[in-house]
Amino acid sequence: MIRLEHVTKIFSGAPRPAVNQLDLDIEAGMSVAMIGPSGCGKTTTMRMVNCLETPTSGRVLVNGRNVAETDPRQLRRTIGYVIQQVGLFPHMTIARNIATVPRLLGWDKARIDRRIDELLELVSLDPAIMRDRLPHQLSGGQRQRVGFARALAADPDIMLMDEPFGAIDPITRIKLQDEFRQILKKVSKTVVIVTHDIDEAIKMGDRIAIMKDGELLRYDAPDAILADPGSDFVRDFLGPDRAIKRLSLINVARIMTPPRAMPHGASISSEANLHLALSSMIERNLTGLDVTAPDGAIIGHLHRDAILDCQTA
Ligand SMILES: Nc1ncnc2c1ncn2[C@@H]1O[C@H](COP(=O)(O)OP(=O)(O)OP(=O)(O)O)[C@@H](O)[C@H]1O
């Protein structure tokens, strides 16, 4: 777990602290999305966790140990770090890039080779095609997958991700968010992700930390924040469509009712969210949809009114 205790960071010559008296507890296995206006201290906070910045005062604890008393190189080997521009070594093959930390840890060649293939498959890249390529021979989305695989290589407990999808086109971005979230849940990592995108924060975070001027303004589950922003700043930050945003947190399966005798003829997956379901109904001018299981079988029915009722629940 990660704990920040009264952490303040003042850069020399700066008129005010970049991070001011920050207290934050992140339980093991939890994903936290940090969001806030540019310059509010998100990246500085994250960089203090892996010792790339040192707090002016206060303590940062990782798994109970004060990072100031830990060897920074050793610490960073136990923390995966993914950044926007990926930072792959340009003259090294994809395989060697992924092998960076395992090599530092002295793993034997066979173990490293197995891990490279396993990780490439995990991020949906074909090892036979990708292993020997150089970073410039990959698309931006593929490079981001490799950066993510590299960060996971030595199976760290913690993953720090600073705008990991910032440079990716919107369609690939949504796909990567879905995939990375699934992978991170499967391998149960503690995750801190910095983002500018509130939809990304809602999707990726079990909790959202909203910062302003170096201070933590709100730290709560996405649904709790969307249901009750608590301040004008947070309300404005979430945007005027927060009721619709809330729908993206609820799966169709949660409110579907048994299948109708007469199917609608238009369907949606039980794993889709209500935002998508409502959008699909509006687009097709329908009041309901059949709900299907992954094998295509109709397992339920979703009425538009049930979605609207959800908002008041
Ligand atoms: N190395 C540094 N030296 C001096 N000031 C810095 C340094 N790094 C960051 N700052 C300042 O600290 C404040 C917080 O910066 P930080 O990068 O943490 O913000 P952020 O919330 O991540 O911003 P953005 O969303 O634009 O990336 C800013 O005012 C920034 O100018």
CATH of the domain at 170: 3.40.50.300
Nearest-atom number in ligand 1 for the CA of 194 is: 22
59 and 145 within one domain: yes
In the three-class reduction of DSSP (H, G, I as helix; E, B as strand; rest coil), residue 119 is classed as helix
Judge if the beta carbon of residue 39 lies within 6 A of ligand 1: yes
Judge if the beta carbon of residue 37 lies within 6 A of ligand 1: no
CB 91 within 8 A of CB 135: no
291 and 172 within one domain: no
Q: Which residues, other chains included, contact 223 with Cβ-Cβ below 8 Å and sequence gap of 6+?
A: 246, 249
The residue to mutate among 11, 161, 237, having the most atoms of ligand 1 within 8 angstroms of its beta carbon, is 11
Nearest-atom number in ligand 1 for the CA of 41 is: 18
Q: DSSP letter string over 19-56?
A: EEEEEEEE-TT-EEEEE-STTSSHHHHHHHHTTSS--S
> What is the Å distance from ligand 1's center to 155 Cα?
29
Token pair of 178 as six digits: 């879905």
Cβ density class 85-124: b for 16+ within 10 Å, e for less:
ebebeeeebbbbbbbbbbeeeebeeeebbebbbebbebbe
Q: Provide the edge-to-edge strand list for the sheet that holds 298-303.
A: 267-269, 288-292, 298-303
254 and 163 within one domain: no
307 and 286 within one domain: yes
Which of 241, 263, 288 marks a domain boundary? 241
Q: What pLDDT tens digit does each residue of the chain (313 aa) get?
A: 999 999 999 999 888 999 999 999 999 999 999 999 999 999 999 999 999 999 999 999 999 999 999 888 888 878 988 887 767 899 999 999 999 989 988 999 999 999 999 999 988 899 999 999 999 999 888 888 899 899 889 889 999 999 888 777 888 888 888 888 888 888 889 999 999 989 899 989 999 999 999 999 999 999 999 989 999 999 998 988 888 888 988 899 999 999 988 877 899 999 999 999 999 999 999 999 999 999 999 999 999 999 988 765 5
Q: Which residue range is the domain that position 81 belongs to?
A: 2-241
146 and 40 within one domain: yes
CATH number for the domain that contains residue 289: 3.90.1280.20
Judge if the beta carbon of residue 42 lies within 6 A of ligand 1: yes
Q: Count of domains in the chain?
A: 2
> What is the Å distance from ligand 1's center to 83 Cα?
15
Q: Which residues pair with 298 in a beta bridge?
A: 292
Please state, in angstroms and rounded to a whole number, the distance separating the CA atoms of residues 237 and 233.
6
Please state, in angstroms and rounded to a whole number, the distance separating the CA atoms of residues 88 and 114.
20
173 and 254 within one domain: no
Judge if the beta carbon of residue 44 lies within 6 A of ligand 1: yes
303 and 182 within one domain: no
What is the separation, in whole angstroms, between the first and last Cα of the chain? 33
159 and 303 within one domain: no
141 and 50 within one domain: yes
